Structure 1
Amino acid sequence: MAGMEAAPVLTGRLLVATPVLTDPNFARSVVLLLDHDSQGALGVVLNRPTPVDVAAVLDGWAALAGDPAVVFQGGPVGLDSALAIAVVPGEETHPGPLGWRRVHGAIGLVDLEAPPEVLAGVLGGMRVFAGYAGWSPGQLEQEIAEGAWYPVECEAGDVSCVEPDRMWRAVLRRQRGPLAMLATYPDDPTLN
């Protein structure tokens, strides 16, 4: 249609769950979007650590994992598969090391089939995720329009936040304007 603008591509941005999003998979979640286009969207929940140590499931990768060195539940889809993201500082025009593919800025996907020693000393703040969050074409845009998500800028340190249980509030707190006020939203508003 003439005059219609395409929705902005949100790859590399964070989705912060609004207080109205009560789905247990996503309540108070912070999702890093790894891919967003006309075919849909894919991301990982950054603030859902599991009790499973990376060393227990991926031989050789634990030394490269950020603190806490546990597997995170990336979302409700594909829980039997693992993916990893990490930060590699440097220019976006530089391809980055073998075994790492840039997603946005300094954030990229780690090839868990590569030998870990190839990436040792190069990766910063690696996180391993079981599963991911996925949206069909138009679904994410609809959820944002319905007020389920706040799309905000991602900072490289978000990938390896050492206090994932405080991440939702921390990301909201650094926003400007009314969004920052939501960081004080009670866990259970009925007790307020």
Structure 2
Amino acid sequence: MASTRLAAGDLLVAVPHLADPNFRRAVVLLLHLDDEGALGVVLNRPLPVDVGDVLPAWQDVVSRPATLFQGGPVGLDGALGLATLPLAVEPPPGVTRVASSFGLVDLDADPATITGVLGLRVFAGHAGWGAHQLQDEVAAGDWYVLPALPSDAASADPATLWRAVMRRQGGSMAILSTYPDDPSLN
């Protein structure tokens, strides 16, 4: 069920009519939130670039599809590693837990030391908001704030993640999951 409470580990799911091309039908995992702003990564924007083309040592470690993902419109020249972690287990060296089942990966670490993770993705860039900007966008109705599942961060089919997250909420959210990409063609 959608909420207006925001915390690291939540999903920000774009409302069907959000027109900003950076966030149209986006599913964003919120990784950090404080009085100075917020940071997250878009989970459903795979790029046509293999991780091995950019970070060869990580090619065989990342979850499939083994492509780079566009984490958002900010800092596209930087990479961010995201691991899905078991809850009751201490993260391996090189991984810092940031919320429940999610941790940031030090991409300068030896990939062989990143063991015991349930999934791993590499993102070019991230989504960022200034002080209270995200809260204002949520209050304006631009985002649904929904609980994340550990599997969301390393979905094998990221192209269907927006619909899948909406559908699993049930009720009117499930109905909205069928909202057409272009309602004028309906």
Q: SS at 1:184's partner residue? A: coil
- Superimposed CA distance per residue, residues 64-89 of structure 1 (whole angstroms, 9 cap, x where no aligned partner): 11010000000000000000101121
CA distance in 2, matches of 1:156, 1:124: 8
Equivalent position to 2:26, from 29, 44, 59: 29
- Superimposed CA distance per residue, residues 147-179 of structure 1 (whole angstroms, 9 cap, x where no aligned partner): 110000000000111111101000000013321
Paired residues of 2:83 and 2:103 also in contact (CA < 8 A): yes
CA distance in 2, matches of 1:123, 1:64: 10
Partner of 1:110: 105
**Pairwise mapping of residues 119-134 of structure 1 onto structure 2 (< 5 A)?**
119=114, 121-134=115-128
CA distance in 2, matches of 1:89, 1:153: 17
Unaligned runs of 5+ in 1: 1-6
- With the length of structure 2 as denominator, give the TM-score of the two structures: 0.94
The Cα RMSD (Å) is 1.2
**Pairwise mapping of residues 147-162 of structure 1 onto structure 2 (< 5 A)?**
147-162=141-156
Paired residues of 1:36 and 1:42 also in contact (CA < 8 A): yes
Partner of 2:94: 99
Paired residues of 1:46 and 1:159 also in contact (CA < 8 A): yes
Deviation at 1:16, TM superposition (A): 0.3
CA distance in 2, matches of 1:9, 1:150: 10
CA distance in 2, matches of 1:68, 1:42: 24
Unaligned runs of 5+ in 2: none
Paired residues of 1:79 and 1:131 also in contact (CA < 8 A): yes
Matched, 1:45 2:42: yes
**Pairwise mapping of residues 56-75 of structure 1 onto structure 2 (< 5 A)?**
56-75=53-72
Partner of 1:3: none
Deviation at 1:124, TM superposition (A): 2.1
Find the structure with the greater CA-based Rg. 1
Partner of 2:11: 14
**Pairwise mapping of residues 135-154 of structure 1 onto structure 2 (< 5 A)?**
135-154=129-148
CA distance in 2, matches of 1:13, 1:85: 14
Paired residues of 1:74 and 1:131 also in contact (CA < 8 A): yes
Paired residues of 2:84 and 2:119 also in contact (CA < 8 A): yes
CA distance in 1, matches of 2:73, 2:21: 10
Matched, 1:187 2:184: no
CA distance in 2, matches of 1:88, 1:138: 29
Paired residues of 1:10 and 1:36 also in contact (CA < 8 A): yes
- With the length of structure 1 as denominator, give the TM-score of the two structures: 0.92
Deviation at 1:95, TM superposition (A): 3.6
The count of aligned residue pairs is 183
Percent identity between the two aligned chains: 53
Q: SS at 1:64's partner residue? A: coil
